[in-house]
Amino acid sequence: MAQYGEEFIDRLHLVWGPGFLSPGGPEEVAEITRGLDLNNTSVLDIGCGTGGPAIVLARDMGAHVTCIDVEPQLLHRASVLASEAGVAEQIDYRLVSPGPLPFEDNGFDVVFSKDALIHIPDKKSLFADVMRVLKPGGSFAASDWLSGENAAEDDALQQYIALANLDFTMATASQTAEIMRQAGFKDVATNDRNAWYAELSRQELTQIEGQLRDDIIKVSSVEIYQQWLAVRRALAAATNSGGLRPTHLRGYKTLSR
């Protein structure tokens, strides 16, 4: 069963903008990739969703992007938006099955992901595979929804996970950094974005309760709106409690590897 149905996509686009299934828009893509020169590079976008980040990577940074996802309706939406943005020739789309990345070794200059790795349960295999497909000297730059150190005892986080009804496998920043190092990444860095999103999530909640209410109901229903409003309130509470911690991830593959 698809986690991102058409109506759910429409709701997320109303809050986060066309092509985005997580917060921050083009500015957040720029923050994730800060310091990297992506012009004429080959970039793998893991869990590309509806393609907003890939459009930014191609249009604004000059990258050639290979987008992968496990749900075909996401790739269809992404390809339409890329054509409208005039960057279709810079982006390729590939429907994949969960599991190892279907690419040869040393194929990409950069591996990128925006808030999709939470859906991948086997983090060790994931980061080993990312390391495998990176070229020597390549970079991994991503953001993901991580958890606080005491996630199991955080009632707000557990309430959000229960209400969201999405397939999540969350790790802490320290766990993620250690797994990345074990996979061979060098200069591993994590950048906690909890404070940024705690404020933004409050603003989003105000919009959902107010100016976006009728538009959300128009693409869904009153019942779905009410259910989602509870989810969004729980999301804001989990972020405010520190249980949910959006985090930027960075690591590098050495030239000698």
- What confidence tens digit (pLDDT) does each residue in 96-151 have? 999 999 999 999 999 999 999 999 999 999 999 999 999 999 999 999 999 998 88
The residue whose two tokens read 């040393």 is 106
- What confidence tens digit (pLDDT) does each residue in 48-90 have? 999 999 999 999 999 999 999 999 999 999 999 999 999 999 9
The span from the CA of 164 to the CA of 151, in Å, is 16
The span from the CA of 95 to the CA of 102, in Å, is 10
- At 236, is the pLDDT very low, low, confident or very high (cuts 50, 70, 90)? very high
Closest CA to 134 of 41, 39, 228: 41
The domains found in the chain, sorted by start residue, are 6-149+167-194+245-252 (3.40.50.150)
Closest CA to 234 of 171, 170, 174, 155: 155
% of the chain exceeding 70 in pLDDT: 99
Task: Give CA torsion, residues 97, 99, 103, 105, to 10 deg.
Answer: 180
The span from the CA of 15 to the CA of 193, in Å, is 19
What burial class does residue 213 get, using C-beta atoms within 10 Å of its C-beta: 0-12 exposed, 13-18 middle, 19+ buried?
A: middle
The span from the CA of 140 to the CA of 94, in Å, is 20
- What confidence tens digit (pLDDT) does each residue in 181-197 have? 999 999 999 999 999 99
What burial class does residue 130 get, using C-beta atoms within 10 Å of its C-beta: 0-12 exposed, 13-18 middle, 19+ buried?
A: buried
b/e map of 161-186 (b: 16 or more CB within 10 Å)? bebeeeeeebbbbeebbebbeebbbe
Mean pLDDT of 6-10: 96
